[in-house]
Amino acid sequence: MANQGHPLVVTLRAIVKPIAPKDEGENVKMSPKRMLSLLILALVSGCAASTPESVAQDPEAPHDPALLEVILEDVRVGWEQGNGAPFYEHFLDWDGARYFEGGGQNLGLEDLVVNHVEPESELGLTLGFSNVQTHFEGNFAWAVVDTEIRLTTADGRDIHNRGHGTYLFRWVADSWRVVHTQSASSPVG
């Protein structure tokens, strides 16, 4: 073989050396045809192992809109009542989690509950979700909602806004969990 030192030949030898027949020394005895066959086998095996069907996904992730709608309703009511329990139950509190609303953000689930959910309920918050649209892809889902917000600020100003929100979900440990939210609204009228 004329190109014994070619980088591809050297790489192929390193790949197949552990499975190739050996002579009395450490040199690999393999024809170029056998080497090519083993390379093709390795490539095909590698490609098959990385197809979408082989990706580790829980085949039990149900694509049922009602499951997401129940979570959204729990969150909506929890927000109105200043109750963090539905948030701690349905949100995946992960390092780096950020929740956005109207250009502001909460860093982590506790920040969202303590500095956003609980204080707004004290202002008589009413929150409505309508036109809920759910979408699923494997172990990932999202819901888009239209929102209506009413409250009275501490200084007596009435707020009435409408807008939209997006909730991202991930199937974790046999349940859909919220991993991110974003919403924006503007004054009605």
DSSP per-residue letters across 140-169? EEEEEEEEEEEEE-TTS-EEEEEEEEEEEE
- Given this model, what pLDDT does residue 189 score? 84
What CATH number is associated with residue 157? 3.10.450.50
pLDDT band at 33 (very low <50, low <70, confident <90, very high): low
Alpha-carbon distances of 120 from 75, 145, 177, rounded to whole Å: 13, 20, 23
pLDDT tens profile 45-104:
444 444 344 345 556 799 999 999 999 999 999 999 999 999 999 999 989 899 998 888
**Is residue 108 domain-resident?**
yes
**38 and 119, same structural domain?**
no
DSSP structural state of residue 133: E
* Interatomic CA distance for residues 7 and 50, integer angstroms: 26
Residue 42 has pLDDT above 80, yes or no: no
Q: How far apart are CA 118 and CA 78, in angstroms?
A: 9
* Higher per-residue confidence, 97 vs 1: 97
Q: Residue 81 has which token pair?
A: 């009542």
Looking at the structure, do residues 83 and 33 belong to the same domain, yes or no?
no
> Do 159 and 97 fall into the same domain?
yes
Could you tell me if 37 and 73 lie in one domain?
no
Instruction: Work out the average pLDDT over 158-185.
Output: 96
Which of 74, 55, 58, 85 lies closest to 143 in space, CA to CA?
74
Residue 33 and residue 124 share a domain = no
One domain, residues 82 and 157:
yes
pLDDT of 101: 87
Does a structural domain hold residue 2? Answer: no
Phi, psi for residue 164 in degrees, rounded to 5:
-145, 155
Q: Taking the model in full, what pTM does it have?
A: 0.69
Domain membership flag for residue 1: no
pLDDT band per the 50, 70, 90 thresholds, residue 130: very high
- Asked whether the beta carbons of 39 and 12 are under 8 A apart, the reply is yes
Q: pLDDT tens for residues 136-166?
A: 999 999 999 999 999 999 999 999 999 999 9
| Domain total of the chain | 2
Same domain, 15 and 85: no
Determine the pLDDT at residue 103: 83
Indicate if 103 and 133 belong to the same structural domain: yes
50 and 79 part of one domain: no
Q: What is the domain extent for residue 41?
A: 7-54
Question: How confident is the model over 160-188, as a mean pLDDT?
Answer: 97
Q: Tell me what pLDDT residue 21 has.
A: 52
Q: How far apart are CA 107 and CA 23, in angstroms?
A: 63
- Do 88 and 180 lie in a common domain? yes
| Alpha-carbon distance values, 136 to 61, 86, 121, 147, 158 (Å) | 10, 22, 31, 21, 37
In this predicted structure, the answer to whether residue 26 has a pLDDT above a threshold of 80 is no
Same domain, 11 and 41: yes
In a domain, 59, yes or no: no
- Mean pLDDT score across all residues of the chain: 81
Handedness of CA 13, 17, 20, 23 (dihedral sign): positive
Whether residue 11 lies inside any domain: the answer is yes
